[in-house]
Amino acid sequence: RYWRDWSSDVCSSDLALPSSVYALSMAKPVNAVLTADRACTIWQNLTLASGTLDAQGFLLQNATTATVGSRAFTLGGDAILRVGAANGFADASTGTVRGFGVYNLDERSTVEFYGTNQSIEPIPTGSGYGNLIVSNGGIKTVWGALLVRGNLSVQSGSSRSEEHTSELQSRQYLV
C-alpha cells in the first residue's frame, strides 16, 4: 500500500503521486486539494475516502488485466474527483480512472468534469454518480443512460449535448 500524509495541496517534483504503486488510498481533510502532476499506475485498489483529488488530464489506471474484476475504485462520500483535459471518467480509451473491475461511488461523492469537450459516460458497473458537476466551458457529451444519485450541476460557461443519451436521470436536483 502507498499512504502518504501530503502536507502540501499541490504535488511537486519532490512531493508527488508515484508513477506506479501497489494500492493507493487518500484521506485528506474535506476542503484540502491534492493536484496530480503525473499519471499513476495502480496494481490493486484506488480509494479516495475524503478530500479532493484533481487528476487534471492524468490517468489513474489499474494495470492488472488478468484479474481486473477484483480491483476496485472507491470514491467516498466526503471525496471529490476532478477530471480535466478531454478525459472522461472510466472509458477504456479516454477515461481518467481506467481498468478497475468495480467502481464504487458513494451517493454523497462528487465527480467534476472541468475540461474541454469531454464525454460523460455511465459508470461501468452501473452504480451511477453521486453528485456530478459540469464546469469551465467546452461541450460535455453524455453517452448512454446516465444515473446521478445526487445533484447534477451544469455551471455557467458549460453546455451539454444529450443527443447520444437514451436517458438522463437525477434522483435529486438538476442545477
pLDDT of residue 60: 92
What are the respective helix, strand and coil percentages of the chain, to the nearest 5?
0, 45, 55
H-helix segments, 72-123: none
Which three cell numbers mark 149? 444519485
Quote the pLDDT of residue 80: 97
Would you write out the chain's pLDDT as a tens digit for each of its 175 residues?
444 444 444 443 334 677 888 888 888 888 888 888 899 998 889 999 999 999 999 999 988 765 556 789 999 999 999 999 999 998 877 889 988 889 999 999 999 999 988 888 888 877 899 999 999 878 888 877 889 999 999 887 765 555 443 344 445 544 4
Q: Give the three cell numbers for residue 150.
A: 445526487
pLDDT of 77 reads: 96
Is the full-model pTM beyond 0.85? no
pLDDT of residue 162: 53
- How far apart CA 27 and CA 21 sit, in angstroms, is 17
pLDDT of 53: 92
Residue 51 pLDDT: 93
35 DSSP β-pair partners:
10, 54
- Contact indicator for 140, 116 with CB cutoff of 8 Å: no
- Tell me what pLDDT residue 66 has: 54
Integer Cα distance of 121 and 112 in angstroms: 13
Q: Which secondary structure element, helix H or strand E, spans residue 132, and what is its range? A: strand 131-134
* Residue 63, C-beta contacts closer than 8 angstroms, at least 6 positions apart: 20, 41, 42, 43, 99
Instruction: Give which of 46, 50, 41, 54 is closest to 87, Cα–Cα.
Output: 54
pLDDT of residue 63: 82
The distance of Cα 114 from the centroid of its chain, to the nearest Å, equals 11
